[in-house]
Amino acid sequence: MRVLVAALFGGIVMFLWGAVAHMALGLGNVGMRQPVAEDTVLAALHPGLGDQAGVFILPSVDPAKMGDKATIAAYSAKTKVSPYAFMVYMPQGEDLSDMSGQLPRQWASDTLSALALAFVMGLAAFSFMTRLSIALAAAVFAWLSTMVPYWNWYRFPTNFTVAALIEQVIGWLLAGAVMAWWLGRDGRRVG
């Protein structure tokens, strides 16, 4: 039960920190840019990408043709002179200002992440600083295993990638401190 309560506290703290990081500090927008001619780009998406939602990388090559030397040579030449884009595409419209679906999912994600972290923090009678170090290590691990590959392979902007590190480290240190405090209590009833 202590781990579940710690996870609940951690999820709430991380969710609130995420709101501050994105809405007040702007960390979620670092590296994102507005198109010069948005309507021109939007008008070209459907004819160029079709009706299937998905993640697109441009220029692209058919994975089934990766073994064909001529295809790879043509792709290599094209990538040297073409713009590059990594995009999430939804062919249908959606009210992106309505976050009523995303906010509960984000809270659930934060709380489930906190549950995994609380489980590890609660495995032994660790000190507060050891538990906090576990939270820091988990934040850095998550960033290294997710954001750095996106930066490396998909060319996510460096400032976007560093902002994600700052957001994760500060958030999980704050959540980790609350969780470490809760898990370190001696079991006396509160209240």
Residue with tokens 């007040």: 24
How do residues 50-97 score in pLDDT, each as one tens digit?
A: 999 999 999 999 999 999 999 999 999 999 999 999 999 999 888 988
Give domain limits for the chain. 2-38+99-184, 54-89
Render 47-97 in DSSP notation, one character per residue: HHH-S--EEEEES---GGGTT-HHHHHHHHHHHHHS--EEEEE-SS---TT
- Answer whether 113's CB lies under 8 Å from 15's CB: no
Give pLDDT, residue 96.
86
From CA 144, how far away is CA 151, in angstroms rounded? 10
Burial of 110 (0-12, 13-18, 19+ CB in 10 A): buried
Which pLDDT tens digit goes with each residue over 144-189?
999 999 999 999 999 999 999 999 999 999 999 999 999 998 654 4
The residue type at 35? P
Average pLDDT estimate for 99-120? 95
